[in-house]
Amino acid sequence: MKIGWFSFTCSEDSTILWIELMNDNFFKWKELLDIRHARVLKRNNTLKDIDVAFVEGAITTDRDAKKLMEIRKNAKKLVAVGSCAINGMPSAQRNLFDEKLKKEIAFLLVRFNQADKVRSIKEIVTVDDEVPGCPMDEGAFFRTLDKYLQEFGVTNAH
Ligand code: SF4
């Protein structure tokens, strides 16, 4: 199964957890997964022909929103990983700042080309599945992975 792992604005804990899971699963996954895009693992990445895109984090810039739409266009399935991707929080905290705080950070939004509002993945693209948790729940991740391995006709990993 061809997968991509993507991380937008967040603490990237689910990405770290995924890497940690490789301690036990690397050789199994090596046979089952063609990791076509994962900047945390490799330099040469492609967006082409991805079966399942796992996407972590919230969207804070228009540029990232476009990247996300590009991922969606190239992936048959898209899974929102972790709370920030699913509902924006806690990465979207600044959406809840009062007017005074919003004024205080306004120059930073300009300096770093930030959008006025932080958005979840779900606010921008259609999501096929969610792996909840902060960071992601391991069991839910395995269940989602297994579901798509079956759906794409790849032998079950667990
Ligand atoms: S959901 Fe939690 S663990 Fe994952 S990136 Fe957001 S803050 Fe970090």
Index of the ligand 1 atom closest to the CA of residue 13? 3
Look at ligand 1, atom 4, and give the residue with the nearest C-alpha: 135
**How is the chain split into domains, by residue range?**
2-151
Using CA atoms, how far residue 68 sits from 25, 47, 100, 121, 139, in Å, is 28, 11, 31, 8, 25
Reported pTM: 0.94
- No. of H helices and E strands in the chain? 5, 5
**Which residues make Cβ contacts (< 8 Å) with residue 123, sequence separation at least 6?**
59, 88
User: Which parts of the chain register pLDDT below 70?
Assistant: 156-158
15 CA from centroid of ligand 1 (Å): 9
- In this prediction, residue 156 carries a pLDDT of 55
- For ligand 1, mutation pick of 10, 119, 122 (most atoms within 8 Å of CB): 10
- In this prediction, residue 155 carries a pLDDT of 77
Question: Is the Cβ atom of 88 under 6 angstroms away from ligand 1?
Answer: no
DSSP state of 9: B
Residue reference for tokens 């050789």 = 27
Index of the ligand 1 atom closest to the CA of residue 85? 1
Question: Is the Cβ atom of 91 under 6 angstroms away from ligand 1?
Answer: yes
11 CA from centroid of ligand 1 (Å): 6
Top-level CATH class of 2-151? alpha beta
The helix/strand/coil state of 62 is: helix
pLDDT digits (tens, 9 = 90+) for 39-55: 999 999 999 999 999 99
Look at ligand 1, atom 2, and give the residue with the nearest C-alpha: 134
Query: Dihedral of CA 141/11/13/69: which sign?
Result: positive
Amino acid identity of residue 116, one-letter, is: D
Nearest to 74 by CA among 36, 42, 29: 36
Look at ligand 1, atom 6, and give the residue with the nearest C-alpha: 84
Q: Are 54 and 145 in contact (CB under 8 A)?
A: no
Task: Kindly report whether the peptide bond that precedes residue 135 is cis, defined as omega within 30 degrees of 0.
Answer: yes
Question: Rounded to an integer, what distance in angstroms lies between the CA atom of residue 87 and that of residue 57?
Answer: 10
